[in-house]
Amino acid sequence: MEHKLYIYNTLSRKKEQFIPIHEDKVGMYVCGPTVYGDAHLGHARPAITFDILFRYLQHLGYKVRYVRNITDVGHLENDADSGEDKIAKKARLDQLEPMEVVQYYTNRYHKAMEALNVLPPSIEPHASGHIMEQIDFTKKILDAGFAYESEGSVYFDVEKYNKKYHYGKLSGRNIDEMLETTRELDGQSEKRRSVDFALWKKAAPEHIMRWKSPWSDGFPGWHMECSAMGTKYLGEEFDIHGGGMDLMFPHHECEIAQSTAALGKETVKYWMHNNMITINGQKMGKSLGNFITLEQFFTGNHPLLSKAFSPMTIRFFILQAHYRSTVDFSSEALEASEKGLERLMDGYARLQKLTASDNSTVETDGLRAKCEEAMQDDLNTPIVISHLFEALKSINLVHDGKATISKSDLDELKSVFKLFIEDLLGLQDESAISGTNDAYKKAIDLLLNIRLEAKQNKNWATSDKIRNELTALGFEIKDTKDGFEWKL
RNA sequence: GGUACCUUGGCCGAGUGGUUAGGCACCGGUCUGCAAAACCGCAUACGGCGGUUCGAUUCCGCCAGGUACCUCCA
């Protein structure tokens, strides 16, 4: 594989060249949603970030197995491995079977992802469907001596693990201090230390979501599913593990500990974390209650939104910032993205209609290389987009008859635009006319040709009437040098 | 309190030890019957104070402000 893709590895805190464990295959695991509520803007970020990576790795020629899980059990309401299961709570409140809640929100998540043109992963395993694997994984950790049973639950022994390995290597946390400060606080708990985390929890009698295990009727701890499912589908060692920065600790730290304890080796080579989306400078999240769901964006049904924003606008907005930067949401910023995207997509449509000349007076060389270079620099999509906007100027110049382009340059430009806009950035034409039939389009063309004739005869009354009435119906009419363009 | 990070022109947002990011908005111009679109031009920005350097927005230190994680969160 001839490339020099660099990605930022949270483990080393620097950009590293991506070299897969296996020659031509890449294994990639990304933490998916806990399905107890609608996906919000924050959920779109990792989905889109790793969608870009998924697409780009495939573009480089890798066969990628992309696993993104659905958390439908084990994710507890609050800390200290107590509290109610999120799914079970929602089910109780809505008087539904837990699996009804899971199905409902999974369907809605899929719908939102599809709207955002996020490709489905290769495998989307549910935690509840992998209880056996999680029990087996827990056994391995017990056998290795890094866990203990207490009152029917099993806990990970962080202190013991840390003596042999390094708990805190991902998040940079100093575990010795954590052990020091928490020593006296324990005692009452089933856990030896408050830093210990549950691998298996015994279910209280009223708890509906429960499975049999050697230790008790209960359910797996939250961190367990990713270790169990990741290694099941990607092997004991795989290339990339992704997720939001907020999962770094404790979730990913615990995952590393579990896998290392059970297997005696590092499972993941590259850890990647996307940054958060903020709103008024603060993280958008469930706990703060300051989130806006994707559906609210699509419908405009939220006090902070000036209008509805299309899925592609959301996608473009996210891609205009680097995935490791925070990006501050505002209606104003989204409107700016919307306009920029429209201009880019109009230019892309226009590109298809350009006619070639004998030679080029515009510079198209190097666009492909520059875009590739930006992608290879830790997926720098904002730079890719800026290059595309630069190239857009050439397209418009040719379109206006102020410049010419040769056949080969035109073909190259079309090819690069398709590759980056459609295939890699995953931006789709959302205009209402795409997909409608030819007869309809021809009818509009006919009307506008009549208008053109009227214009040529200086019959402004007729030409304006046609334009105004079409405009009133929602069409956008643009006169060009020797004709017209329209869209709905 | 611990740890990490951030502070770029009206807004969003890249990036770099000395050369234009890009988008949106504004203003001026070209084009046009008008309009729209398009094109051209237009901002010489990098929190403050020191230091290193021939030269720092970019490196170092201090200060100010902000954020994230340390409990569930993408």
pLDDT in the model for residue A469: 84
Q: Are A398 and A391 in contact (CB under 8 A)?
A: no
Q: Which residue is closest to B23 in terms of CA–C1' distance?
A: A340
CA A311 – C1' B46 distance (Å)? 33
Same-domain pairing of A206 and A291: no
d(CA A386, CA A371): 9
Same-domain pairing of A190 and A314: no
Same-domain pairing of A253 and A108: yes
Same-domain pairing of A72 and A126: yes
CA A240 – C1' B69 distance (Å)? 22
- The amino acid occupying position A349 is A
Same-domain pairing of A76 and A18: yes
Query: Of all nucleotides in the shown strands, which has a C1' nearest the CA of A33?
Result: B74
A89 band by pLDDT with thresholds 50, 70 and 90? confident
Q: Which of A462, A428, A436, A455 is nearest to A444 (CA)?
A: A436
d(CA A418, CA A412): 10
pLDDT digits (tens, 9 = 90+) for A337-377: 999 999 999 899 889 888 888 888 887 778 999 999 999 99
Q: Which residue has the tokens 């020091």?
A: A180
Mean pLDDT (chain A, rounded): 89
CA A73 – C1' B69 distance (Å)? 24
Query: Of all nucleotides in the shown strands, which has a C1' nearest the CA of A197?
Result: B71
CA A487 – C1' B31 distance (Å)? 22
pLDDT in the model for residue A264: 94
Query: Of all nucleotides in the shown strands, which has a C1' nearest the CA of A332?
Result: B11
Burial class (CB in 10 A: 0-12, 13-18, 19+), A5: buried
Give chain B positions with protein CB within 7 A: 2-5, 11-15, 21-25, 32-40, 66-74
Same-domain pairing of A64 and A174: yes
Same-domain pairing of A117 and A262: yes
pLDDT in the model for residue A436: 67
A430 within a domain of the structure (yes/no): no
CA A19 – C1' B68 distance (Å)? 30
How far are the Cα atoms of A179, A193, A321 from residue A185, in angstroms, in the given order? 10, 8, 43
Same-domain pairing of A262 and A172: yes
pLDDT of A79 higher than 90: no
Query: Of all nucleotides in the shown strands, which has a C1' nearest the CA of A346?
Result: B37
Q: Are A241 and A268 in contact (CB under 8 A)?
A: yes
A242 within a domain of the structure (yes/no): yes
Query: Of all nucleotides in the shown strands, which has a C1' nearest the CA of A399?
Result: B38
d(CA A389, CA A414): 14
A431 within a domain of the structure (yes/no): no
pLDDT of A7 higher than 90: yes
Q: Comparing A42 with A189, which gets the higher pLDDT? A: A42
Q: Comparing A435 with A132, which gets the higher pLDDT? A: A132
CA A115 – C1' B71 distance (Å)? 33
A252 within a domain of the structure (yes/no): yes
Q: Which residue is closest to B4 in terms of CA–C1' distance?
A: A172
Same-domain pairing of A25 and A110: yes
Domain at A60, CATH number: 3.40.50.620
The interface predicted TM-score (ipTM) is 0.93
pLDDT of A93 higher than 50: yes
pLDDT in the model for residue A198: 93
A1 within a domain of the structure (yes/no): no
d(CA A78, CA A155): 17
A126 band by pLDDT with thresholds 50, 70 and 90? very high
A306 band by pLDDT with thresholds 50, 70 and 90? confident
d(CA A7, CA A241): 12
CA A383 – C1' B59 distance (Å)? 25
Same-domain pairing of A126 and A54: yes
pLDDT in the model for residue A194: 84
Q: Comparing A250 with A431, which gets the higher pLDDT? A: A250
Query: Of all nucleotides in the shown strands, which has a C1' nearest the CA of A350?
Result: B38
pLDDT of A187 higher than 60: no
A82 band by pLDDT with thresholds 50, 70 and 90? low
Average pLDDT, integer, range A24-33: 96
Q: Comparing A56 with A173, which gets the higher pLDDT? A: A56
Q: Classify the C-alpha dihedral A192-A198-A199-A200 as positive or negative.
A: positive
Q: Comparing A83 with A426, which gets the higher pLDDT? A: A426
Question: What is the domain extent for residue A354?
Answer: 279-424
Domain at A303, CATH number: 1.10.730
Q: Comparing A456 with A164, which gets the higher pLDDT? A: A164
Average pLDDT, integer, range A58-85: 80
pLDDT in the model for residue A268: 96
Same-domain pairing of A224 and A312: no
Choose the final residue of a domain: A257, A274, A291: A274
CA A345 – C1' B30 distance (Å)? 24
pLDDT of A227 higher than 90: yes
Query: Of all nucleotides in the shown strands, which has a C1' nearest the CA of A389?
Result: B22
Query: Of all nucleotides in the shown strands, which has a C1' nearest the CA of A455?
Result: B33
pLDDT in the model for residue A185: 47
The proportion of chain A whose per-residue pLDDT surpasses 70, expressed as a percent, equals 94
Choose the final residue of a domain: A243, A274, A305: A274
A433 within a domain of the structure (yes/no): no
- Ranking A127-136, A173-182, A337-346, A370-379 by mean pLDDT, the lowest is A173-182
How far are the Cα atoms of A132, A153, A211 from residue A142, in angstroms, in the given order? 15, 12, 19
pLDDT of A186 higher than 60: no
Average pLDDT, integer, range A281-287: 87
CA A454 – C1' B4 distance (Å)? 67
Choose the final residue of a domain: A239, A274, A309: A274
CA A225 – C1' B56 distance (Å)? 49
pLDDT in the model for residue A172: 85
Average pLDDT, integer, range A294-305: 92
A469 within a domain of the structure (yes/no): yes
A243 within a domain of the structure (yes/no): yes
**3 state DSSP class of A219:** strand
Query: Of all nucleotides in the shown strands, which has a C1' nearest the CA of A317?
Result: B12
Q: Which of A194, A278, A223 is nearest to A75 (CA)?
A: A223
Same-domain pairing of A110 and A175: yes
Total domain count, chain A: 3
CA A468 – C1' B19 distance (Å)? 49
pLDDT in the model for residue A182: 53
Query: Of all nucleotides in the shown strands, which has a C1' nearest the CA of A385?
Result: B22
CA A447 – C1' B5 distance (Å)? 58
